[in-house]
C-alpha cells in the first residue's frame, strides 16, 4: 500500500483518478495549487486506487494523505 501525501500545503486543483482505477507509476493522480503554481502528485508505483481523501477545492497541509494506492 502506498499513501500519496501532499508535498506542500495547497488547494486541490484536480483529481485525475477514481477509486478502483488502475494507475501506472509516474501517472499524475492529483494536482495541487500552491503559491500560484500547479504541483503534480504522481503515483510512486503502479496499482489500484483504493481511497481518495480529498475533493477539488479542499485545502490540504503538507504531509496530508491524499490518495491510497495498493499494488
- Residue 16 CB, nearest distance to another protein (Å)? 10
Summarize as ranges the residues that interact with another protein (CB under 8 A). Answer: 8-11, 13-14, 34-37, 39, 59
Residue 44 CA, distance from chain mean position = 11
- Residue 29 CB, nearest distance to another protein (Å)? 15
| Closer Cβ to another protein, 57 or 71, answer by number | 57
- Residue 35 CB, nearest distance to another protein (Å)? 4
DSSP-based three-state secondary structure for 40:
strand
Place of cell 496499482: 47
Give the three cell numbers for residue 52.
481518495
DSSP state of 4: E
Amino acid at each position: 500500500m502506498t499513501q500519496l501525501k501532499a508535498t506542500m500545503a495547497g488547494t486541490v486543483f484536480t483529481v485525475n483518478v477514481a477509486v478502483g482505477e488502475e494507475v501506472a507509476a509516474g501517472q499524475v493522480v492529483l494536482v495541487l495549487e500552491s503559491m500560484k503554481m500547479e504541483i503534480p502528485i504522481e503515483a510512486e508505483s503502479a496499482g489500484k486506487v483504493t481511497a481518495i481523501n480529498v475533493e477539488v477545492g479542499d485545502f490540504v497541509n503538507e504531509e496530508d494523505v491524499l490518495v491510497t494506492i495498493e499494488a
